[in-house]
Structure 1
Amino acid sequence: MADLIDRIEGMALDASEIVAVREVLSRRLIDAPLAMMSDKEAVELTQAVETQTRRDEAVKIRLSAELTERRVAAKLGHKHNNFLRLVLRISAAQASGRSKRAERTGIWHSITGEVTEPRYPHAAEALRDGAIGLAHEKVIFDTMTALPASIRSDLGLWAQGEKSMADAARTMDPDELKKVGLHLHAYLNPDGTFDDVDRKQKRELNTFKQGADHMAGIKGNLDPATKALWDMVAEKWAAKGMNNPDDPQSPSGNVDKADPQAIKEAAARDSRSQGQRNHDAFRRLLEMVVGQGKLGQHRGLPARVIVTMTLEQLESEVGLATTASGGVIPVRDALALAGATRKFLALLDNKHRPLFLGRQARLASADQRLALIAADRGCCRPGCDKPATRTAVHHLTEWSKGGRTDITALALVCDGDHGQVHDGANGWLTEIITNRTGPPGWQGRIGWRQRGTADPPRPNNTHFSELFFTHPEMWDPDGDDDVAWFKERAREAFGEPQSEPPIRTVDFGWRRPLAA
């Protein structure tokens, strides 16, 4: 084994060649026989593979930093994290996490080309050695950022703490390392004192994306004043019998305005937990704030909940509707939430584009924006998951160049992607896909393509995940008709191939090469 390692290390290979050798070995390892190994050899193999996997994470971090320094994403008109999502097919959280780890432990260069030391040098070294994994690095980061500002600003103490945590991580699992972090806090901050700067840094309130049951988690850290305010709301609005959505006779709103006898009777029927009562009080509070119009306007529309559903869903009151903020809501709940308020009916064609609704002014009307919310659901750039509430109305042909504010020539684009539509070398074009510019499933939809490329304009299916099963031809260019369309365009561009290519006909660049 040692001789084999020495021979491999003696080979003069560049990065691409190393990856090629690694690919061959990885394919062989996945099917390598294991039955003849002893227990000791199996354990050692497991440990070796784990070390290699951890070292792979360090390589990924290094590559993320390299791509950032080269500004590869910016050259293609993307933000770095979104670019990682597109080319690696990883989640937004994974892309963000990799970028943040690269900031902490990656290899970076100054303007003059000199290597700068990572912010977490000892953790970075342990990652490169394969001695720790991402979970260890996360514990180290969480421990160090939770220290008081007075200690974080003391570079000597901070460096001492980071080294101690990284050294401990080399011999412990992440759960054990968390306990070491608690002792480190006790050692560096024996009085347990935190000031207003610490509390301001730690305040947060985050909601997570909906799960399979359409519920969304919530995580927060309230400062003392916010906690006191919530306690008072909960005492009155989350009292037993109050604001119970499962009890039609339950008093709603402020307990002071309710009949005491009605509250007493509702409390006797109330089987909710304290957490459930808190949730229902919070919902009622939000309903009042939104329903009374206290939020004003958002991007030209009243700040109200905007829900999109089909006519069939409206009539049957079943299924899932979509919200302008990117979520889903059962149709029955949406209708109950709407109550007696005025509805807006958007009529869409079979390509999910709104029928004509024109305007001679430059700015889209509120009705046009509502129609676009129903049609696009969010930013129309391929791969972007920004919901409609975070988008602006975009003219496919700029107003200054004769574009019209007609519903058939408008689309929703988020602020970040809007800036990528320009006349520069790396700018993007937006257009309606026709039978000459895209395969059958794409025609009639909004497409994006970069200037100076032969790529066809691509639509965004991120907001239409339900079509994956019902209309696969709209989801991905892998069907027979779509492949035939791409091959026909390739023949037009490059002529008839002499022989069938072994891997691809042509690579149009977006998500995957086209298989021959």
Structure 2
Amino acid sequence: MAFGEPSAPQPLLLDQYERLHALLDEISETASTACSDTDLLEVAIEHERAERRMLSLFADHMVAIDERSAYRKVGCQTVTNFVTSVLNRRGEANRLLNRVWAIGKFPDMQGEALEPRFAETAKGVADGGISGRNVDVIVEVMRKIPAGVDAADREAAEATLAHYAREYDPASLRELGARILAHLDPDGTLTDDRDRARMRGMRLGPQDAQLMSTLTATLDPKTRAMLDVVLAVWAAPGMNNPDDPSSPIGDPAKADPEALAAAAERDDRSTEKRNHDAFSALLRCVLDGGALGGSHHGLPPHVIVTITESALRERAGAPARTATGALLPIKDAVELAAEAQQHLEVFRDNTAEVLYLGRSKRLASRAQRIAAVGRDGGCTCPRCTRSSFDSELHHVIEWAAENGPTDIDNLTTTCGAHNRAVGAREDQWATTIVADGVDAGRVVWHPPRSHPDQTPRVNRAHRTGEVLSRMRADACRRLPTPVRHAGRGREGGAVGYRRRSTLTIR
């Protein structure tokens, strides 16, 4: 039976969840005043237990959705995309799916449900004894067990972690996990290249309110050895100091020894700051040296900055945006624009490059791609925050099926997954251009016909400045209007407030 058919009888599971929501409504309307202190504490304990048990049910549902590829019914290409966009759990999708991976009952080749990978952990979650955060720690510790550890010890380690997880908080459980790892491989002899390859990684965190970012990494021995040499040279005292105009920049071998010695005398940076500045200089060297090639998704592999004309003229205003989605203070954007290899896109004046190719070419030109960076800011599919640098250009009126032209007003930025999610099938999205209003010229996405919510959507995630301005204007219109009350205060009246009416006379 097709998903979402109105004539189909409601499945038992949906009916049960409706009754669950009704019960939650009933609980929310029940005052706690009738409870004694002891009863109230018991309520909190039972609430926590119920929340933990829900994770076990969530894992069962996600396994079924993944096995049946049911996520395609709402226009998603993967179960991860479903979790991030439909369940709105971006930023924690990997953690949630790691929990499912650990405690879910996945089927074998014959369709029979297997035992969970971490069986004791799954039992603890199912009965409400283990929290989701402790599952995260168990997954983290188990993945650090060397590949040379035998299956019996690995199973015992998981059971031990599950035992502790019922009593200890995540921080304490992580410490206990470290002790278990030390016991399994006290001499480090079982750790091999497979383990190092599995644990390596680098993560660039999001920008904070000050536009700063945190970089965390776990380096394999070879990478660490190379980095040590690079930092020893490029992060030497006096080298690549942005606060010292006379500091040698770039390749230390080309620096004047006397100038470098003088700069080192003036250098009061910490080791961490010198490492940061050396890393920045290395990135500039890579960008300017052409090591990234000539194209990435049709865009030049350089820093592409979108900025308004007024911000460029006044050197002030909201942060500029790069094609990768990073935000730059106006001062930094102007400094980048003054240097070679960077691309600055200023809005208002029209470019002289051809942005309308009609049917002469299917692939967008570089000028069109750069123009789309500033107009779209990133993937235009609803709830997607992928940057333009990681995206492609999609024909709104399809090139092959509908003879759509390769014109800038028929092209929209989409990441690879969402570009493939558009089509004529029942489980694919459709796209059109907004004709008028505040979103005129933007792309509107129409959900798949199998999607339970058919509301058209426009992605405004890359235009936070515009949205903020509209919200501010709306808030100003809603502010109370001063009125005078006769007989009080100066000039015969006191200032009071009357809220503006929302009634519109047509």
Q: TM-score, normalised by structure 2?
A: 0.82
- Which residue number in structure 2 is paired with residue 373 of structure 1? 373
* Structure 2: distance between partners of 1:55 and 1:14: 19
* Structure 2: distance between partners of 1:474 and 1:421: 35
* Structure 1: distance between partners of 2:196 and 2:133: 25
RMSD: 2.9
Structure 2: which 5+ residue stretches go unaligned? 1-10, 478-506
Shifted more, 154-163 versus 106-115: the winner is 106-115
Shifted more, 362-371 versus 250-259: the winner is 250-259
Structure 2 residue matching 1:138: 3-state secondary structure: helix
- Which residue number in structure 2 is paired with residue 261 of structure 1? 258
**Contact 1:65 1:99 (C-alpha < 8 Å) held by counterparts:** no
Q: CA deviation at 1:387?
A: 0.8
- Which residue number in structure 2 is paired with residue 72 of structure 1? 70
Q: Deviations over 1:321-355 (max 9, x none)?
A: 11111111111111212324375545469xx9x99
- Which residue number in structure 2 is paired with residue 9 of structure 1? none
Q: In 2 relative to 1, CA 474–80 (structure 1 residues): closer, same or farther, beyond 3 Å? A: farther
- Which residue number in structure 1 is paired with residue 80 of structure 2? 81
Letter of the 1:174 partner, please give it.
P
**Contact 2:421 2:429 (C-alpha < 8 Å) held by counterparts:** yes
Among 239, 242, 259, the residue aligned to 2:239: 242
Structure 2 residue matching 1:466: 3-state secondary structure: helix
Higher helix share: 1
Q: CA deviation at 1:37?
A: 4.5
- Which residue number in structure 1 is paired with residue 52 of structure 2? 54
Q: CA deviation at 1:380?
A: 1.5
Q: Does 1:184 align with 2:180?
A: yes
**Contact 1:326 1:378 (C-alpha < 8 Å) held by counterparts:** yes
Q: CA deviation at 1:457?
A: 4.1
Q: In 2 relative to 1, CA 137–452 (structure 1 residues): closer, same or farther, beyond 3 Å? A: closer
Shifted more, 221-230 versus 456-465: the winner is 456-465
Letter of the 1:464 partner, please give it.
R
- Which residue number in structure 2 is paired with residue 161 of structure 1? 157
Q: CA deviation at 1:34?
A: 4.1
Q: CA deviation at 1:458?
A: 2.5
- Which residue number in structure 2 is paired with residue 44 of structure 1? 42
**Contact 1:348 1:375 (C-alpha < 8 Å) held by counterparts:** no
Q: Deviations over 1:330-386 (max 9, x none)?
A: 11111212324375545469xx9x998212322211111110111111112112211
Tell me the matched-pair count: 455
Among 128, 144, 147, the residue aligned to 1:130: 128
Letter of the 1:459 partner, please give it.
V
**Contact 1:442 1:474 (C-alpha < 8 Å) held by counterparts:** no
- Which residue number in structure 2 is paired with residue 496 of structure 1? none
Q: CA deviation at 1:36?
A: 5.9
- Which residue number in structure 1 is paired with residue 171 of structure 2? 175
**Contact 1:396 1:430 (C-alpha < 8 Å) held by counterparts:** yes
Structure 1 residue matching 2:397: 3-state secondary structure: coil
Note the 1:489-504 alignment, pairs <5 A: none
Q: Deviations over 1:38-75 (max 9, x none)?
A: 44334333322221221122222333223323422112
- Which residue number in structure 1 is paired with residue 301 of structure 2? 303
Q: In 2 relative to 1, CA 356–467 (structure 1 residues): closer, same or farther, beyond 3 Å? A: farther
Letter of the 1:171 partner, please give it.
E
Q: Deviations over 1:392-426 (max 9, x none)?
A: 12222222342211111111111111112223232
Note the 1:281-360 alignment, pairs <5 A: 281-296=278-293, 297-318=295-316, 319-341=318-340, 343-345=343-345, 347=347, 357-359=355-357, 360=360
Higher relative contact order (CA 8 A, sep 6+): 2
**Contact 1:433 1:445 (C-alpha < 8 Å) held by counterparts:** yes
Shifted more, 106-115 versus 162-171: the winner is 106-115
Q: In 2 relative to 1, CA 199–58 (structure 1 residues): closer, same or farther, beyond 3 Å? A: same
Structure 1: which 5+ residue stretches go unaligned? 1-12, 480-516
Structure 2 residue matching 1:295: 3-state secondary structure: coil
* Structure 1: distance between partners of 2:47 and 2:124: 16
* Structure 1: distance between partners of 2:165 and 2:70: 34
Structure 2 residue matching 1:191: 3-state secondary structure: coil
Shifted more, 119-128 versus 174-183: the winner is 174-183
Q: CA deviation at 1:246?
A: 1.4
Q: CA deviation at 1:276?
A: 0.8
- Which residue number in structure 1 is paired with residue 490 of structure 2? none
Q: Does 1:197 align with 2:194?
A: yes
Structure 1 residue matching 2:313: 3-state secondary structure: helix
- Which residue number in structure 2 is paired with residue 383 of structure 1? 383
